[in-house]
Amino acid sequence: MIQSEIIASEAIHAEYEKITHPSGLTVYFMHKQGNAKKAAMIAAKFGSINYTFSTQDGRQVTVPNGTAHFLEHKLFEGEQGNAFDFYAKTGAKANAYTSNDKTAYYFICTDRFEENLDVLLSFVTHPYLTNENVEKEKGIIAQEIKMYEDEPGWQGYFTMVQGLYQNHPIRRDIAGTVEDIYSLTPEILMDCYRTFYHPKNLVMAVVGDVEKETVLVALDRYFGDVADLEFGKMPIEEPLESGERYVEKAMLVSKPIFHIGFKDNETDVKGFALSKKEMEVEILLEYLFGKSSSFYKELYEAGLINGEFDCWYDLSDYFSFCVINGESNDPKKVEECAFAHIALLKEKGIDKDRFRAIRNGLYGSIIMDAEQSYGMANRLVANNLNGAETFDAIDALQQITAEDLLARAEKMFAKERSCLSVIQPIKEEE
Partner 1 sequence: MKFIQEKPKAGVICNYGMIDHFRSSYISLDFILPLSAENATGMSLLAGVLSRGSENFPSMDVISRYLAENYGASFSINAGKAGEMEILTFATRFLDNECAIDGEDIRAAILTLLQEIIFRPLVDKDGFFEEYVAQEKQNLADKITGLFNDKRLYALEQCKALMCADEPFGVCELGDLETLKTFNRQTLYRFFQNMVNNAQIVITYVGKEEGDFLNSLADGFAERASSVPEAILRDAPPKVQEIIDPMKLNQSKLNLGFRLGPEAQKNGAACRLFNVLYGGSANSKLFMNVRERLSLCYYCSSAMDRFKNVMFVASGVESEKYEQARAEIEAQLKAVAIGDFTDDEFQSAKSYLIDSVRGMLDSESALAASIISSTLRGEMKTIEQEIKEIEAVSREDLIAVAKEIQLDTVYFLKGVQNGE
Strands 77-78 and 202-208, sheet pairing? unpaired
Residue 254 CA: distances (Å) to CA of 327, 328, 396, 423, 426: 10, 10, 42, 10, 8
Rounded to the nearest whole angstrom, what is the least distance from the CB of residue 37 to partner 1 in the complex?
A: 5
| Rounded distance between C-alpha atoms, residue 65 and residue 303, angstroms | 40
- Three-state DSSP class for 344? helix
Name the residues annotated as catalytic: 72
Q: Which CB, 19 or 181, lies closer to partner 1?
A: 181
Rounded to the nearest whole angstrom, what is the least distance from the CB of residue 148 to partner 1 in the complex?
A: 9
Helices (H), 165-230: 178-182, 186-196, 212-222
Q: Which CB, 328 or 418, lies closer to partner 1?
A: 328
SS3 content of the chain, % helix, strand, coil (to 5): 45, 20, 35
Rounded to the nearest whole angstrom, what is the least distance from the CB of residue 12 to partner 1 in the complex?
A: 8
| Rounded distance between C-alpha atoms, residue 272 and residue 280, angstroms | 12
R_g over Cα of the chain: 23
Q: Which CB, 57 or 301, lies closer to partner 1?
A: 301
Phi, psi of 81 (to 5 degrees): 130, -165
| Residue 226 near residue 198, CB atoms below 8 Å | yes
Q: Which CB, 138 or 245, lies closer to partner 1?
A: 138
Rounded to the nearest whole angstrom, what is the least distance from the CB of residue 16 to partner 1 in the complex?
A: 16
Rounded to the nearest whole angstrom, what is the least distance from the CB of residue 45 to partner 1 in the complex?
A: 26
| Rounded distance between C-alpha atoms, residue 244 and residue 241, angstroms | 9
| Residue 56 near residue 194, CB atoms below 8 Å | yes
Q: Which CB, 117 or 202, lies closer to partner 1?
A: 117
Instruction: State the CB neighbour count (10 A cutoff) for residue 429.
Output: 4
**Partners of 206 in beta bridges:** 29, 40
Q: Which CB, 359 or 411, lies closer to partner 1?
A: 359
Phi, psi of 418 (to 5 degrees): -120, 165
Rounded to the nearest whole angstrom, what is the least distance from the CB of residue 127 to partner 1 in the complex?
A: 18
Q: Which CB, 89 or 332, lies closer to partner 1?
A: 89
Rounded to the nearest whole angstrom, what is the least distance from the CB of residue 425 to partner 1 in the complex?
A: 9
| Rounded distance between C-alpha atoms, residue 430 and residue 428, angstroms | 6
CB burial of 133-153 (b: ≥16 within 10 Å; e: otherwise) equals ebeebbeebbeebeeeeeebe
| Rounded distance between C-alpha atoms, residue 252 and residue 51, angstroms | 32
